[in-house]
Structure 1
């Protein structure tokens, strides 16, 4: 990219390769969010899966985060992110395509759903770590904020269209066709990212590269040694654990307790998308005006707190659906504001050669607990019922902003600290 393009942050949009990354990531996220609704709704509405079975399905899809995140980070730091993303897209397209064929042939039962959920989840781990590291290699650091806002904005659009599309296709057509739509979006992402022509500036490699376990240990030690990143890990783990439990209950509560159709469930989930789009826009302005720490704590408290309104809902869809849309919008806006701000903190603090491992470590610690949370949600639903359990798990989500408020993360000002030096082992 010419230096003149790099001088103005908005010039990130002038770069053809960035636009290809943005388009591919948008399609990929749309396919991922559609499949996250298609598979659970197919299990609940078609296979009549119970609470425990739904919890197990969600846990299997989330298990790769715990099993593979650290390996993905070590791999991404040594390979081109474009290659990793292209292979992940191809694999997910094939997995959902196979699910569509199996469904059309009448063989898409719960065991097949478990296999597909695990495969898509595993490949999503590699794609997510790679795309988080790709921006740092594609643009200058002064373009990270507009670049992240653009990428997170596309994720917001996917959160709007994906759940609505998935829910509508399951209700109106069939689960196999819904699965095929996810495969199509992954194929589009493959084609777009494959067209990125610029060769990435890979971090310098030592003459004798460290073994994968040593590189993983370096990433873990780096995150643990930085107070800000360590707090991000703990707060993320607290949120993701209770959110996974709450979402398992949410997917049971809406169709069973509130008697909503698959389309209505999809619309309720899609409400986070417009809110997230607003959050992406606010993230480009609010931290620089009020300070990164104040924005993080207040947005997390607002987004997590509003979810407490859901268990109180009663009545007909004419009453409950608008309320769910409002909750989803606020939750999406606040959550996206937190996501973009946290990503800016992470990318600023970590040096280039540690970006993949830092992203993977945070995913491992934060998202790695989601299978346990999903299982907990299914268990609590059977013991306490969905409404009471949803209230308890929603309250548990507030532990995340509490941890941030009590840490140095809350004291971050309008500017962020520079990269911290990493100690890299050569063997």
Structure 2
């Protein structure tokens, strides 16, 4: 039986040396890209569905977003341990089917006027739960599909698609709602999941999974090792705190933002989508800057400066008034700067995390940081909805955007701010690496999704 890291076809021939000549990798990449686009478009489609079709209030939109994000907090650590024991292709195919059916049913019910807010909440939690399973599974699938020397290129392709989807998905969702109506937009999101299903189910390569022992694996022990490792390292602790502050405030701000643009500024769904899409070119610029600036000015200076600029520019949004061309242009500029600063921070933090983490702890470290950072997003969404209902949209946007500035402040007060041009080597952090012994079996783990989102 081939090992979990082998890449052998059903016929016994080795996989192609070039990833893009490998049909199974192309199928995984296409399926993952379609799934990520559907997932991130849905994050905007469902709230706009509630606002435009069901006339939902601020508090209800906050609850809807929180329900969809709750599975990240409740399930991510456990799903990471469970997926190792299953065939990832099966997990991804089943989750695609489930999300297609859930959004398809919501679309049909919406067209006939049968869909109320309680049913939309059920759809949100179903899609959110299945997305957690898919996101963990596609990362684990790569190490079972390609050779070890292809992992860097494979991860680069998959994570590049995820970044594009995070940027383009919400813009696509807003545009679909405007052009096609909310129910049809939900059906369009379902089509992305259907495309993912059709692509991934055509992966032919035999996938081996670790043999199951008679006793259940010690899931809690493995989770605890990852938590203890992150807590014991000062740099990783700072990443966790800054990520949690950013994601909590950003979730609250986005809940208000999605109400502020169509209601306070009276922008159409197309204008909202266009404004959100401006983060795409900004993120591209941020990625290019991340390859140069840390080596020239130091990782710490770049982290703090980029986070302060990217987060701080959002404080300009509450000063805007009316649906004029100048307002749309200002939103494009704000989101461009935000996208550039956020991507610059994300790439730099990812490099720092990987530098101070042993190979055998990479997966659990990424999952722990994702859990701590993203776990507070449901509470942030609830807070945003509450503030919008109690204080009004403009005041709430000022408060939540100001809260995002806590992230660069925490980084400035931490060891992250003192990082120089060269990244710390693993041997420079004996307080973590020496104290925690990593078993050989843990080398089967892969990195988490978006663990570096701290600014």
TM range (shorter): 0.7 to 0.9
Aligned equivalent of 2:422: 414
The match for 2:368 is 361
Gaps spanning 5+ residues in structure 1: where? none
Q: CA deviation at 1:202?
A: 6.6
1:127–1:259: structure 2 CA closer, same or farther, 3 Å change rule?
Answer: same
Cα RMSD, aligned residues only: 3.2
SS in 1 for 2:339: helix
Change (3 A) 1:240 1:160: closer
Residue 271 of structure 1 is matched in structure 2 by 278
CA contact (8 A) 2:77 2:223 kept: yes
In our comparison, the structure showing a higher alpha carbon Rg is: 2
CA drift of 1:191 comes to: 3.0
* Structure 1 residues 4 and 196, CA gap change in structure 2 (3 angstroms): closer
TM-score normalized with structure 2 length = 0.82
Q: Which shows bigger deviation, 234-243 or 218-227? A: 218-227
Output one character per residue of 1:324-378: Cα deviation in whole Å (capped at 9) or x when no partner: 1111111112212222333344445445554443333222211111111111111
Deviations 1:84-138 (A, max 9, x none): 3333333222221221222233222111110111111112222233344555666
1:321 and 2:305 matched: no
Instruction: Count residues with an aligned counterpart.
Output: 422
**Contact 1:276 / 1:335 at 8 angstroms: preserved in 2?**
yes
- CA distance 1:180–1:252, change in 2 (3 Å): same
User: CA 1:102–1:358 in 2, change beyond 3 Å: closer, same or farther?
Assistant: farther
Hey, which of these two has a bigger chunk of helix by percent?
1
149-158 vs 382-391, greater mean Cα deviation: 149-158
Partner of 2:102: 95
Residue 278 of structure 1 aligns to a residue in which SS?
helix
Structure 2 alignment gaps of length 5 or more? 1-6, 9-13, 428-432, 442-455
Q: TM-score normalized by structure 1?
A: 0.87
Aligned pairs for 1:7-406 within 5 A: 16-134=23-141, 147-197=154-204, 210-406=217-413
User: Contact between 1:76 and 1:356, CA under 8 Å: does it hold in 2?
Assistant: no
The CA deviation at 1:406 is 2.3
SS of residue paired to 1:180? helix
The answer (yes or no) to whether the contact 1:95–1:119 under 8 Å persists in 2 is: yes
Of residues 41-50 and 290-299 in structure 1, the stretch that sits farther from structure 2 once superposed is 290-299
Question: How far off its partner does 1:267 sit?
Answer: 1.6
CA contact (8 A) 1:149 1:281 kept: no
How far apart, in 1, do the equivalents of 2:283 and 2:163 lie? 5
SS at match of 2:316: helix
Deviation at 1:82, TM superposition (A): 4.1
Contact map agreement 2:243 2:373 (CA 8 A) in 1: yes
